Amino acid sequence: MPVDIWVDQFLHYLAVERGLADNTLVSYAHDLRDYGEFLEQEQVPPDKVTPMVLIAYLVSLQKQGKSQATTARHLASLRSFYHFLVDEKILPASPAAELESPRLPRRLPQVLEVEEVTRLLEQIQGDSPASLRDRGMLELDYASGLRVSELIGLDLGDLDLQAAYVRCMGKGRKERIVPVGGPALQWTSLYLREGRPKLLKGHAVRALFVNQRGGRLTRQGFWKILKKYARQAGLVKNISPHILRHSFATHLLQNGADLRSVQELLGHADISTTQIYTHLSREKIHQVYRQAHPRA
């Protein structure tokens, strides 16, 4: 049986039963199609793959100049793929079970200081529909710590201005409720009253944040908006689409929030993912100490 048939079954399982996002499905599909081409070139039947075949594939990725992170991602895709094949009793055992992922240095996410967040938000001036949208959107992102995909995926009914919360659908189609602070509620409310109706141009859409053509704002659209105001604010840091989310988590921990609560707010399945922000908080404490103590 061609490996492509198994890949299609696996992708269907990920989409239908696990509800993974489109971007994640595309990543799995790319990795596994690449792997299928390797098996074809090496003339290895899919049901005859051994750990040595997988090692040869990973070595071929490194010879192509792929980074350690990319190689580790491919191995993770293969592990999930073969785990599925074993669960479905298509194969008796996984050839990837005993392979270890390359150890990667854990990179700390870039965050903004509170003053830098304020400077960023204050770049959004005027009362044009686009300006009202941009201020409401970035205020809401910093107030809630949503992923960009969660933010642009919000519909009108997901934001409750009276109860001061937003409901979003996170990874694995898991729903969570996140409280929203006063400034974000005020600016988003103003956008809904005076900005969004003009941007819609007569279109009937459920999306909370819409573009100039009246359709749902895209991830790329959000990214362009964020970069524009970061440039205006003179922020020289490496701005990422998730920088307000990272800043949200770090500022909460710096101001006394407990790790479990931050984990819930971010929608992390594993608390070890959240713990990276404690490193940032400790770095900040050390920096303050070095600057303030006369014998540091």
CA–CA gap between residue 126 and residue 121 (Å, rounded)? 12
Cα separation, 115 vs 101, in Å, equals 39
Task: Catalogue all structural domains in the chain, each as residue range(s) with its CATH number.
Answer: 3-87 (1.10.150.130), 114-291 (1.10.443.10)
Backbone angles phi, psi at 271, to 5 degrees: -65, -20
Torsion of CA 12, 13, 16, 17, to 10 degrees: 180
User: Which pLDDT does position 21 carry in this prediction?
Assistant: 81
pLDDT at 289: 52
Taking the complete model, does pTM exceed 0.85, yes or no?
Answer: no
Contact residues for 201 (Cβ-Cβ < 8 A; gap 6+): 213, 214
Catalytic positions are 147, 171, 242, 245, 268, 277
| 135 within 8 A of 185, measured Cβ to Cβ | no
Q: What share of the chain is helix, strand, coil (3-state, %, to 5)?
A: 60, 5, 35
Q: List, in sequence order, every residue forming a beta bridge with 216; answer none if it has no partner.
A: 210
Tens digit of pLDDT at every position of the chain (296 positions): 578 899 999 999 999 888 888 888 999 999 999 999 999 999 999 999 999 999 999 999 988 988 888 888 999 999 999 999 999 999 999 999 888 766 655 667 888 999 999 999 999 999 999 999 999 999 999 999 999 999 999 999 999 999 999 999 887 778 899 999 999 999 999 999 999 999 998 888 999 999 999 999 999 999 999 999 999 999 988 888 899 999 999 999 888 888 899 999 998 888 878 888 877 666 666 665 576 656 65
| Residue 145, pLDDT score | 94
Nearest in space to 188 (alpha carbons), one of 214, 168, 162, 213: 162
- Tokens found for residue 131: 């300006």
Distance CA 21, CA 66 (A): 24
Query: Is 56 in a helix, a strand, or coil?
Result: helix
CA 7 vs CA 43, 44, 81, 279: distances in Å = 18, 16, 8, 38
Query: Quick one: which of 295, 195, 170, 189 has its CA closest to 245?
Result: 170
Q: Do 86 and 77 touch, CB atoms closer than 8 A?
A: no
**pLDDT for 173:** 77
pLDDT of residue 179: 93
